[in-house]
Amino acid sequence: MLDLTKYQGIIFDMDGTLIDSMGSHLQAWELTCHALGYPFDYDYMYSLGGVPTLATVDILNEKYGLSHDPDEVAKQKHQFWLGLNHQPEIITETVDVLNYYHGKMPIGVGTGADRAHAIEHLTQTGLIDKIDALVTASDVRHGKPHPETFLSVAKQINIQPQNCVVFEDTQIGYQAAQAGGMDCILVKDGKIQLKS
């Protein structure tokens, strides 16, 4: 098992880190982009993983010179996502870490998903009862790469940021952890990336 004993708290991102849902979100974004005239670039959209939907719309509007209403785009993207009827599955490597340290140190989740979506996914996968704090896009003013999400989790689990480690699957999330003064372990394609 990964030795995290030098830390006092663990913070996980959700989509793409604990729960394998990035694929379905990217599918929903692809449908949304085609419907609304945004060019769709898979790698670029993946790089925005962790950015709240409304902020993603602002980024796309600016990048492509469009002016779609963020709330309307978010609703349409959510409808496309629901239509995919995706069943969330856990990412075994990171959930094994969560299970191992559950009860040994405080564990929180900091996600760019909205609160209702996060609670639904964490409940469906049986993870909701294993975490001590949940901070979502609905709870912060500044989404990732701003550190507010992870700093809020650290505050809720009552651990100083420098004593927390974050698990993330995107560079934006990595930047958020670093900006908050926390170490970050990247997860790529469901595998924990350990520096040699």
Could you list the active site residues? 13
- Spatial distance between the Cα atoms of 63 and 30, rounded to a whole number of angstroms: 16
| Tokens 């419907």, located at residue | 35
Contact between 15 and 22 under an 8 Å Cβ cutoff? The reply is: yes
Contacts of 55 (CB under 8 A, 6+ apart): 143
Q: What is the dihedral of CA 31, 37, 43, 45, to 10 degrees?
A: -70
Helix spans in the chain (H):
22-36, 42-47, 53-64, 70-84, 92-101, 115-124, 148-156, 171-179
Residue type, 56: T
